[in-house]
Structure 1
Amino acid sequence: MDRNPGAPPLYAQLEQILKQQIECGTYKKGDFLPTEKELMEKYELSRVTVRQAMANLVQSGYARARRGIGTDVVYEKVEEQMEGVISFTEEMKKHHIEMQTTYCKMELISPGETVARSLQIPLTEPCYCLKRVRNAVGKPMVYTITYLKKICELPTEPEPYMESLYQYLREEHGIYIESGRDTLEAALPSEEVQKALKIDAQMPIFIRTRQTFRKGGEVFEYSICYYPGNRYKYTVEL
């Protein structure tokens, strides 16, 4: 614990320590956190300080206070299995998690070099750009920037894109995704991503870059998806 002048309050430091232990899996969902007495002795803190840290963990959705029993972990990372091309909404439904779209903007743009190359279109050919923030369990789970080849006229109002994009394209426009290619990398967030996901500059993120293809191998979509590292993980079956 940092007790130097200007250091964060001790309760905030303890809260951050416990959050990190929960996020890295030291304490998993259903595990009980150390008792107040154990934390007081380990970190040489007062009961008031420990109680404030634990109360903050409960309020932020990391833990649950169970009277007469203790405080157990309720936080759990959302886990996505990489098995074929399905939408984020469809994947979350498999985990019985309800999605909400809190930001949605669709527009027709002129592509830059990277987008044009990824969609295999000329720089002079317009494409659609869809930006969305999707929430799960009340927190931003993914910020997605999706570029779509203009093979038909798509509406630019946000309503059609509040749920599954792939389902909307299938049912309303007869556009089917046959295959896809995902690339994953870890990074620190830009200011735009920090704002969208409500995270600080030091929070690691997953970046998933996706190309999808229609029948015959025609590129249709190029997406960049940003996931907060403390709320999301991938599992790959080999």
Structure 2
Amino acid sequence: MTLDKKDALPLYKQLTDLIRSDIEVGKFKKGQKIPTEVELSKLYNVSRITVRNALEELAKENLLIRKQGKGTFVNTEKLSRGISGSISFSDMCRESGCKPGAKVIKCVIEDANDKDTEVLQLEPNSKIIVIERIRYADGVPVAFEISRLPERFTFLLDEDLNDTSMFSILAEKYGIVFTNPRKEIELTYSTYEMSRYLSLSLSHPLLLITGLSYDKEGIPTHRSMQFIVADKFKFVV
């Protein structure tokens, strides 16, 4: 397909269709960086605005990912995640062929709220450990994760939880494994804060997975909330 300036279809739409076709037939592979705006502009003899509009259309379709300072890449397949079980985010990424990442936003001791006290079966006026992290797949932010644990997990405050699996640290270093996770899934929308963390527009649809896991004695130990960019995941039942 070539661009026809006499066609009633806008040039950016023609270019959108052309690049989409190239992705579908494998000319541009999953994860591959495509030519720059300048290169595409010269290749198809159109303005950079036309190219930019086409790329933005394809990004909205989740076919392309635009990484600031790095370029534009063909999106990889959605991450596959089982609804049941306690597989870590890091293991899920590796099974999907992606490199996992994490950035700690918050790691503190706080007063337990009413829900913490009820769900984790804590004494009144207890403290808890709160860990908030942005989770990445191949450098792209795909989830915002909150972990809330009893005060006996204070040792986690001394661990570097950036770009690592908290579950692996707990299992390998401390012999702690969570079991029998219970999960609830609901639709929610990104707040201003989460939109900034996940590079989304305000009120972008998210899947909220609320989980509760137990220690080997069957005591509720780990409250988790994961705000997941819905169009980056597929779930397996």
TM-score normalised by the chain length of structure 2: 0.70
8 Å CA contact 2:108, 2:157 repeated in 1: yes
Q: Any residues of structure 2 matched to 1:84-99 within 5 Å, and which? A: 84-99=85-100
1:31 paired to 2:24: yes
Q: CA RMSD for the aligned pairs?
A: 3.5
Aligned residue in 1 for 2:202:
201
Aligned residue in 1 for 2:53:
53
Q: Distance in 2 between matches of 1:75 and 1:28?
A: 16
Q: Are residues 57 and 75 of structure 1, via their aligned partners in 2, closer, same or farther at CA, if it must alter by over 3 Å? A: farther
Q: Are residues 29 and 147 of structure 1, via their aligned partners in 2, closer, same or farther at CA, if it must alter by over 3 Å? A: farther
Aligned residues: 198
Q: Distance in 2 between matches of 1:185 and 1:58?
A: 27
Q: CA deviation at 1:138?
A: 2.1
Q: Are residues 172 and 187 of structure 1, via their aligned partners in 2, closer, same or farther at CA, if it must alter by over 3 Å? A: same
8 Å CA contact 2:171, 2:177 repeated in 1: yes
Q: Distance in 2 between matches of 1:28 and 1:180?
A: 42
Q: Are residues 170 and 74 of structure 1, via their aligned partners in 2, closer, same or farther at CA, if it must alter by over 3 Å? A: closer
8 Å CA contact 1:110, 1:123 repeated in 2: no
Q: Distance in 1 between matches of 2:57 and 2:144?
A: 25
Aligned residue in 1 for 2:123:
122
Q: Any residues of structure 2 matched to 1:30-179 within 5 Å, and which? A: 30-32=23-25, 48=47, 50-56=50-56, 62-63=63-64, 74-157=75-158, 159-160=160-161, 162-179=163-180
Structure 2 gap segments, 5+ residues each:
1-9, 27-44, 66-72
Q: Are residues 228 and 121 of structure 1, via their aligned partners in 2, closer, same or farther at CA, if it must alter by over 3 Å? A: same
Q: Distance in 1 between matches of 2:104 and 2:21?
A: 31
Aligned residue in 2 for 1:183:
184
Q: CA deviation at 1:63?
A: 4.3
Q: Distance in 1 between matches of 2:105 and 2:196?
A: 14
Alignment partner of 1:102: what SS?
A: strand
8 Å CA contact 1:112, 1:123 repeated in 2: no
Structure 1 gap segments, 5+ residues each:
1-9, 19-26, 34-45, 65-71
Q: CA deviation at 1:224?
A: 0.7
Q: Distance in 1 between matches of 2:11 and 2:102?
A: 34
Q: CA deviation at 1:122?
A: 2.4
Aligned residue in 1 for 2:223:
222
Aligned residue in 2 for 1:69:
none
Counterpart AA for 2:109: L
Q: CA deviation at 1:50?
A: 5.0
Q: Are residues 31 and 176 of structure 1, via their aligned partners in 2, closer, same or farther at CA, if it must alter by over 3 Å? A: same
Aligned residue in 2 for 1:192:
193
Counterpart AA for 1:221: H
Alignment partner of 2:182: what SS?
A: strand
Residue identity over aligned pairs, in percent, reads: 17
Q: Distance in 2 between matches of 1:11 and 1:134?
A: 37
Q: CA deviation at 1:98?
A: 0.7
8 Å CA contact 1:104, 1:158 repeated in 2: no
Q: CA deviation at 1:151?
A: 3.0
Q: Are residues 29 and 215 of structure 1, via their aligned partners in 2, closer, same or farther at CA, if it must alter by over 3 Å? A: farther
TM-score normalised by the chain length of structure 1: 0.70
Counterpart AA for 1:139: V
Q: CA deviation at 1:175?
A: 1.2
Q: Are residues 57 and 155 of structure 1, via their aligned partners in 2, closer, same or farther at CA, if it must alter by over 3 Å? A: same
